Amino acid sequence: MILTLDIVSLVLAGLLGMAVGGNNLSACCGPLIGSGMVSRRTGILIAIAGYILGLALEGPKLFRVREIFLPIDTATGTFSILLASLIVFLGGELSQIPLSLSKALTGAILGVSIALGTFNSSGYLILILAFWFLVPLIATALGILLIGLDDRLSPRNLWLKLSLLKTGLLLVSFLSAYVLGSNTLGLIAGVIYDQTLYATVAVGLGAALGTFVLGRGALRRLTEGIFSLRYPNAFFSQLIGSATVELANQLGVPLSITETVSSGIIGSGLARRMRMMNARNVFLIISSWIISPIAGFLLAFTLTKLL
């Protein structure tokens, strides 16, 4: 029974890797593609390269989430975490909302930890919650600030400005994919306690496949559903997203790249006073950030008690 659950958990980890690869393509390369700079296929290849490199180099830093909140090796707990997270993702995919799967996964780990009575790290939890609350506010404010600075200080030579922005956008899109690989994909791989190597391979392969088969809906929602992106909006949202998630990586804090990039996009849109911003989509995106960890927690807690 335990061996069967271990195998099923590896499959679920691969499926979650697919979910992350597809759903977060919008956050990593959505601005790059939405601005019309590269084709969808080129954007996907950039994302895959970043995913794999980030997972391999810095992914183990996020293993500490499972190690701190759930220090015991439990096959049923691992299965419950991964299954609950996958169910939450499927709900978000059906509604075509860029979903914070890292929040759902963290909520699921907490749900299993509390269900098994192993939770004893309130300080670490407070650090995570502080990041989750403050980062969207800071990213939105930075989006407004950086667009304002761009209007005042950017080169007057239009061609020079476009060349700089295009080069910068390529770099930060890759960096966004890299920090997604190290943060969310690393978080998934770390759930499976004694099989992290196999889990890392499964998650990496799943992420690469997911960009091709699952990324279209969320990509369209983020790049076109809020407002049509310009080069400065795209660049600054990516810069804010990759920088904040990389900071979270160093502290072992799970943080959604979708959330940070979306906040930067919203802020840059407010700075441009874009009246055509889709308020309904903004509300749905923000709501998903709150619902995801709660849903992950409740599902994983319930599954653990039932199993």
> Residue 52: CB partners within 8 Å, gap ≥ 6?
181, 204, 207, 208
Instruction: Tell me: pLDDT of 223 over 50.
Output: no
Tokens, residue 164: 């700089």
If you ran DSSP here, which 8-state letter would residue 60 be given?
A: G
287 against 183, higher pLDDT = 183
* Average of per-residue pLDDT values in the chain: 82
Q: CA angle at residue 168 from 208 to 204, to 5 degrees?
A: 15
Structure confidence at residue 83 (pLDDT): 95
Is it the case that residue 292 has pLDDT exceeding 80? yes
Integer Cα distance of 101 and 88 in angstroms: 8
Which pLDDT band, with edges at 50, 70 and 90, does 228 fall under? very low
Please tell me the total count of domains within the chain.
1
Average pLDDT over residues 183-210: 92
Q: Note the pLDDT tens digit of each residue in 17-61.
A: 998 888 778 777 776 776 677 787 888 899 899 999 999 999 999
pLDDT at 6: 83
Residue 33: per-residue pLDDT: 72
Token readout for 34 is: 């939405």
Q: Quote the CA–CA distance of 158 and 261 in Å, as a whole number.
A: 25
Note the Cα 121 to chain centre separation in Å.
23
**Phi, psi dihedrals of residue 41, rounded to the nearest 5°:** -65, -45
Query: Tens of pLDDT along 231-286?
Result: 666 777 778 888 899 999 999 999 988 788 777 777 766 766 654 456 666 677 77
CA distances from 113 to 80, 119, 145, 187, 233 (A): 11, 5, 40, 16, 40
37 and 163 in contact (C-beta within 8 Å)?
no
Nearest to 31 by CA among 176, 199, 154: 176
Integer Cα distance of 105 and 85 in angstroms:
5
Share of the chain above pLDDT 90, in %: 41
Average pLDDT over residues 98-125: 90
* Average pLDDT, integer, range 198-211: 93
Residue-range definition of the domain harbouring residue 172: 2-306
| pTM given for the model | 0.86
- Look at residue 218 and tell me whether its pLDDT is greater than 70: no
State what percent of residues in the chain have pLDDT above 70: 80
**pLDDT tens-digit map of 132-153:** 999 888 888 888 887 777 667 6
